[in-house]
Structure 1
Amino acid sequence: MSEDFGLLEPADQPGDEWEKLDVSDTEADRIARRQDREFDEFRKRIKDTEQFKLQESVFDDATLAAVYKLVQDGYVDAFGGPVSTGKEASVFEALGGQAGERPEPGSEVAGGGPEGVTPEREVAVKVYRINSSNFRQMRDYLEGDPRFEGIASDKKAVVLAWTRKEFANLSRAQKAGVRVPEPIAVQRNVLVMELVGHAEERARRLSEVDVENPETAYEVVREYMRRLYGAGLIHGDLSEYNMIIHDGELVIIDLGQAVTVHHPNAGEFLARDCENVATFFTRQGLDVDPDDLRAYVTEPEADPTGEPASGGKTESNAEADGKSTGASDEA
């Protein structure tokens, strides 16, 4: 087998070694260099703080870049100390930036402050550890979720998807009328959301308080479970450890593992949630049957005036939803 190879004819004479090239700075070059300098300064400032020294394993360069982007975009003004620390994620207190929804100056929410004074809003910054997160457990909740079909199998891709999943779940739950921490922004493995309570005085988990009115608390919980289900979500790990009490409100937290009702294990996760909730409120003196709870949660138009499992007459869930759960801070 033979082929003929030809040479291209030069279009013009090549230049010589004294050919002039334009190597002057462009505006894009100057912006890029400034951003690099600012990021280096930000990284040095963060690494010098006590929080970083205590949580150094959390802040790799990729995470620092994500936090820096959130600062640049106006979602975070100042970084504070840790609120909670876990194997998979750490939560830090921070001041929300201008991009976050702050109360209007002078408004009742802002405490009637003078015009022109922008009140600072505390936010929570949740950082997922890419290296130490439970990769296999996360995949169990992600696989089968139609929102994450085709996700890569490496750990980084799973953790980044998990972070976005929690943001999406919080957004959907909030729209459905479930009291959850308000989602504000997400960047890679970093999630910014409402800080419920304060770092110095954190909100208490349901497991840590003396529930003075368990009937009302139970009605609020089951109504939130029903609203989640109506929005196509199942919490997947609901218990007294993933519900907190603050200012008389019951707040559902940790929605990272929440799955859609189309997940192949949705029925199993819902059954477990109902069992956990029934077990807790049975310890509070109520007669709660997990099967009855599941029937209520999955009923498309559940009767809000239905009798509770304890057999006593109660107010409607719509009324109970806006009332205090009657939980005190006595652990």
Structure 2
Amino acid sequence: MTDEYGLLDTDPEAAIGDEWEEIDVTDTEADRIARERDRKFEEFEAQIKDAEQFKVEQSVFDDATFGALYKLVADDHIEAFGGPISTGKEANVYEALGADNTEVAVKIFRINASPFQQMRTYLEGDPRFEGLGSDKKAVVLAWVRKEFANLQRAREAGVRVPAPIAVERNVLVMELVGLVEDRARRLAEVTVENPETAYEVVREYMRRLHTAGLIHGDLSEYNMIIHDGELVIIDLGQAVTIHHPNAGDLLRRDCENVAAFFSRQGVDTSGNDLFAYIAGDDDRVRW
């Protein structure tokens, strides 16, 4: 692992804070396409169903999911599908070819099998999703749009995360960090050659997230990856705003996890020190 961890420069004119974007979780164009099936859509659906990389996981797809993929292809966000990168209880991730021959990741969330109650605990208290209710479909679709919005906000704050490209219903398209045959490695999987520098980058990214009003909520050596000398933070679906009722507890847990990992690498730090650096005197999240 190199000592160049790619700390991003920030644009002072793009600073963001406590304001929150409106996030629409009503039916999307994909739902309309699924309801108003036409010949081209049915041909596309048949092609996807017959594709070798999708045959194992047919349970992920319903008509509206095919509609979402159809819309993303029509909008030139996806040119061709590749093989699966990962499968999980929340989502399947596939490699794909995007616009201008770029490699992208297509994350397809499961409507029926996603950890619905766990998702709700992170959504409740988020000012972007007030009055969401307990409908499973609405919760999962809100979660997908939440991850897209969190990635956008993190990028604007100067945090190296996968660049979000497009979202449609339960499908998220984002930058693919590392190809399948040359995948990026989680921090837990590599030998950290310069842990002090890596720690400085991580704590600065945590501070920037907090300044932008976000807390990762599940940060550890398993949600940070290294690729081409860059340290990238991933899995921002569960990230909450600083107004979330559990924001303080989640930030404390992130600080303890990160400090514990780097302490094992020989860095002189603690959860208390890291929390103080990130939140300072912010009364909204207290130690």
Shorter-chain TM-score bucket reads 0.7 to 0.9
In the alignment, is residue 156 of structure 1 matched against residue 132 of structure 2?
Answer: no
Q: Which structure shows the higher helix fraction?
A: 2
CA positional deviation for 1:84:
1.2
Is the CA contact (8 Å cut-off) linking 1:230 and 1:300 kept in structure 2? no
In the alignment, is residue 72 of structure 1 matched against residue 74 of structure 2?
Answer: yes
CA positional deviation for 1:299:
3.2
5 Å-filtered alignment, 1:1-331, equals 36-97=38-99, 119-299=100-280
Distance 2:233 2:77 in 1: 23
Is the CA contact (8 Å cut-off) linking 1:245 and 1:251 kept in structure 2? yes
CA positional deviation for 1:300:
7.8
Aligned length: 249
Instruction: State the Cα deviation string for residues 91-147 of structure 1 (Å, max 9, x = none).
Output: 1001113xxxxxxxxxxxxxxxxxxxxx51010001111111111110000000011
TM-score by length of 1: 0.73
Distance 1:139 1:189 in 2: 16
Distance 2:79 2:280 in 1: 44
Distance 2:178 2:63 in 1: 30
Distance 1:272 1:207 in 2: 17
Distance 2:40 2:232 in 1: 38
Distance 1:65 1:230 in 2: 37
**Identity of counterpart residues, as a percentage?**
74
Distance 1:133 1:42 in 2: 25
CA positional deviation for 1:293:
0.2
SS at match of 1:221: helix
Unpaired stretches in structure 2, ≥5 consecutive residues: 1-33, 283-287
Larger RCO: 1 or 2 (CA < 8 Å, sep 6+): 2
CA positional deviation for 1:73:
1.2
- After TM superposition, the runs of 4+ consecutive aligned structure 1 residues lying more than 6 A away are none
SS at match of 2:183: coil
CA positional deviation for 1:35:
6.7
Who is 1:12 aligned against?
none
Distance 2:228 2:261 in 1: 21
SS at match of 1:210: coil
SS at match of 2:231: strand
Distance 1:300 1:92 in 2: 42
SS at match of 2:178: coil
Distance 1:264 1:286 in 2: 31
Is the CA contact (8 Å cut-off) linking 1:52 and 1:59 kept in structure 2? no
